[in-house]
């Protein structure tokens, strides 16, 4: 028997569904390798094994080395990876669709390419964030104005709730330490939310770059999608952490841990999968089915794998 080249791909039934996975795991100053179907994590405290199929996203901080074998497993498991700098300020991401289907991507491209449907999705996203507002007739300019006012209100409400002073959002990606405790916590909280959003988008087979409100960036849709959950997750968590740990020099770590607990308690992964399908009009479709066809401008989808050069050019008619 001919020896197999490369690692054996896991079967679909061996991989956990996106909605059932653990939200994220943050690692730093560690070496990652592969041991069967688990990621072997080695640091100064010892070795632990993390099943790749149950994770949604790995956030890898400074001092992490990843082997080729670990990346094989990560890629085949549909696990998203976000490389983050110190304090999570900078991020570089990798992700592979878990579904192997282009259904969501095609639906997204169709919606974002038409002005009317793009505005419709933008209104839908705003309505999901603020269900009490009627935005069915608002323009994009009016949506931005309404959103800005509501988001400022969210910040002020959380400030009053926790007693944390608030003036405005200040964020310098080149100097994390220059920020106030609440701004540091907000930066860390939003980064965790961006990482999870990216992972879900990539795993479901949609595009991180095809945004409806944000545009022109390879993570435009990540920013769109994450905005749906800031008022319920990252903003209140950041204010809670700032109220308790304002003097803690490692407030970023405290924030990430609190975000992880909030994701689990709020069942955010389940919600994200449902919301993503709803936004792209794919609620009833099974986007996990493997399917590949050939496109034809006259005859519609044609079967893949057929030796068409052996058939008459007129299709035998």
Name the one residue in this structure whose structure tokens are 């994770």.
Answer: 55
Cβ proximity of 49 and 39 under 8 Å: yes
Residue 227 annotated as part of some ligand binding site: yes
Confirm if 160 and 58 have CB atoms less than 8 A apart: no
> Which two structure tokens, joined as six digits, stand for 302?
């044609």
Pair 74, 39: CB distance under 8 Å? yes
- What does the buried/exposed string (b/e) look like for 27-50 if buried means 16 or more CB atoms within 10 Å of the residue's CB? beebbbbbeeebbbbeeeeeeeeb
DSSP string, 115-163: HHHHHHHHHHHHHHH-TTS--TT--HHHHHHHHHHHHHHHHHHHHHHHT
147 labelled as ligand-binding?
yes
What angle do the packed helices 181-204 and 235-245 form, to 10 degrees? 140
At 295 the three-state DSSP class reads: coil
Strand partners, 80: 57
Given its phi and psi angles, is residue 40 left (phi above 0), alpha (psi -120 to 50 degrees) or beta? beta
Residue with tokens 């986007």: 287
User: Angle, to 10 degrees, between the axis of helix 220-227 and the axis of helix 268-279?
Assistant: 120
In eight-state DSSP terms, residue 10 is P
87 marked ligand binding residue: no
Which residues does the annotation place in the binding site? 147, 214, 227
Which residues does the annotation place in the binding site for Mn(2+)? 147, 214, 227
């Amino acid at each position: 028997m001919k020896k197999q080249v490369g690692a054996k791909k896991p079967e679909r039934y061996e991989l956990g569904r996106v909605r059932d996975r653990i939200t994220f795991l943050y690692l730093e100053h560690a070496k990652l390798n592969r041991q069967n179907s688990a990621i072997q994590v080695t640091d100064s405290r010892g070795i632990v094994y993390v099943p790749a199929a149950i994770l949604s996203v790995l956030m890898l901080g400074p001092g992490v080395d990843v082997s080729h074998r670990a990346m094989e497993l990560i890629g085949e498991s549909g696990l998203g990876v976000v490389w983050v700098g110190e304090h999570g300020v900078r991020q570089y991401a990798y992700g592979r669709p878990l579904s192997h289907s282009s259904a969501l991507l095609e639906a997204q491209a169709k919606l974002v390419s038409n002005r009317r449907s793009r505005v419709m999705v933008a209104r839908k996203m705003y309505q999901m964030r603020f269900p009490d507002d009627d935005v069915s007739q608002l323009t994009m300019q009016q949506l931005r104005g309404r959103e800005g006012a509501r988001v400022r209100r969210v910040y002020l409400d959380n400030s009053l709730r926790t007693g944390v002073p608030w003036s405005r959002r200040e964020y310098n990606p080149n100097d994390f330490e220059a920020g106030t405790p609440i701004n540091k916590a907000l930066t860390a909280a939003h980064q965790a939310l961006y990482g999870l959003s990216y992972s879900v988008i990539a795993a479901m087979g949609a595009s991180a770059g095809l945004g409806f409100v944000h545009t022109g960036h390879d993570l435009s849709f990540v920013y769109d999608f994450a905005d749906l959950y800031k008022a319920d997750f990252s903003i209140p968590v950041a204010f809670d952490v700032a109220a308790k740990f304002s003097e803690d020099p490692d407030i970023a770590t405290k924030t990430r841990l609190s975000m992880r607990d909030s994701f689990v308690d709020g069942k955010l992964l389940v919600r994200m999968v449902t919301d993503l399908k709803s936004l792209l009009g794919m609620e009833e479709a099974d986007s996990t089915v493997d399917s590949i066809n050939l496109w034809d401008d006259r005859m519609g989808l044609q079967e893949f794998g057929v030796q068409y050069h052996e058939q008459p050019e007129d299709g035998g008619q």
